Structure 1
Amino acid sequence: MEEKWSQTALLVIDMQNDFILPGAPMHVAGGPAIVPAVVKAVEIARDHGISIIWVVREHDPFGRDVELFRRHLYGDGKERPTSKGTKGAELVEGLVIEEGDYKVVKTRFSAFFATNLHSLLQSNGIKNVVVVANIYDMRNVGVATLMLQEWCSSDA
């Protein structure tokens, strides 16, 4: 395996049913359209031996670890989005966590806040991070982004 690939991790973020499926409580417009590209990115990462890190939201069913402005979604009779163990918290069809992959659970917007992601990347010698999902917001804060085709042919 080339050194650049051994120092690269693919972060697959929020590709859960409650974010992707139409009508889901946390549905993100355009989510279903990106699923095939995410599946392809995971396949490419597996082919190159790139570490795959699945970043998911998993909340307490009672909403005790949810942001204050979302707690109203977790009362009696509510849908309780991305609650641990629910269908909504599962990865969307076509994406599977395999042996050797790593799962980071977050309860806030960023996987780099109040999770072990940073130390995981450092302790495994990861110098390059490829992120799938939420590219629009990342571009808006100045993160350099490549489309899947550019990444596949990139020497970066």
Structure 2
Amino acid sequence: MADNRNRTALLVIDMQKDFIHDDGLVRVNGGRAIVPNVIKAVQVARQRGFLIVWVVREHDPQGRDVELFRRHFYAAGKVGPTVKGSVGAELVDGLVIKEGDYKLVKTRFSAFFATHLHFLLQGAGINNLVITGVQTPNCIRQTVFDAVALDYQSVTVIVDATAAATPDIHVANILDMKNVGVATPTLQEWC
């Protein structure tokens, strides 16, 4: 079997304070619980020599690049979620971008939509993706479905290193992704 170490990337999606902290402006209820597993997944990926891609949202302070349904968060005088340079846009404690990692900024659910992620991965010879982060029905699912549509050889979602607002929403979306051929191991199974 061929060694896929240098052909695999770990995508860490939206593990930012505004999504994870209890006082986050767009907190995902299940987000805090997965932080230790995301940290462990990053450690394992580093040991295996995978490219780590930190996919983050960073928005214009006036919300001009935000989806229409979120624009109310950026009304006059308000600091909206994940504004570039804000505390809420920072990664949660324990997650650190290191030399050799890549930070990708997105403004929509999918990490592929209106970004250069596919070109970056192609240029690095990546054809296998492992996905962690929040939120399962939105950013995780949209990124996964785009990866499947772009014919990545394998797409893996670590079930207990991803989260949604409720366990039921998480499980339903994991099942949808599994039905299109996405691998869905637990962290322990993946390690």
TM-score norm. by structure 1 comes to: 0.91
CA-to-aligned-CA distance 1:62-91 (integer Å, 9 cap, x gap): 100000111110012323100000000000
AA partner of residue 39 (structure 1): I
Give the Cα–Cα distance (whole angstroms) in 1 for the partners of residues 39 and 83 of structure 2.
23
Between Structure 1 and Structure 2, how many residues are aligned?
A: 151
Which one scores higher on RCO, CA 8 angstroms, separation ≥ 6? 1
Give the Cα–Cα distance (whole angstroms) in 2 for the partners of residues 138 and 123 of structure 1.
29
Give the Cα–Cα distance (whole angstroms) in 2 for the partners of residues 41 and 95 of structure 1.
11
In the TM superposition, what is the alpha-carbon distance from 1:138 to its structure 2 partner?
A: 4.8
User: Which residue number corresponds to residue 129 of structure 1?
Assistant: 129
Give the Cα–Cα distance (whole angstroms) in 1 for the partners of residues 94 and 44 of structure 2.
14
Give the Cα–Cα distance (whole angstroms) in 1 for the partners of residues 122 and 102 of structure 2.
14
Residue 148 in structure 1 maps to residue 190 in structure 2: no
User: Which residue number corresponds to residue 94 of structure 2?
Assistant: 94
Q: Equivalent residue of 1:26, what SS?
A: coil
Q: Equivalent residue of 2:45, what SS?
A: helix
AA partner of residue 123 (structure 2): S
User: Which residue number corresponds to residue 11 of structure 1?
Assistant: 11
* Equivalent residues of 2:61, 2:79 under 8 A apart: no
User: Which residue number corresponds to residue 165 of structure 2?
Assistant: none
User: Which residue number corresponds to residue 77 of structure 1?
Assistant: 77
Give the Cα–Cα distance (whole angstroms) in 1 for the partners of residues 83 and 175 of structure 2.
29
Give the Cα–Cα distance (whole angstroms) in 2 for the partners of residues 18 and 139 of structure 1.
27
TM-score norm. by structure 2 comes to: 0.75
Give the Cα–Cα distance (whole angstroms) in 1 for the partners of residues 91 and 100 of structure 2.
17
RMSD: 1.4
* Equivalent residues of 1:7, 1:125 under 8 A apart: yes
In the TM superposition, what is the alpha-carbon distance from 1:112 to its structure 2 partner?
A: 1.3
AA partner of residue 84 (structure 1): K
Structure 1 alignment gaps of length 5 or more: none
* Equivalent residues of 1:25, 1:79 under 8 A apart: no
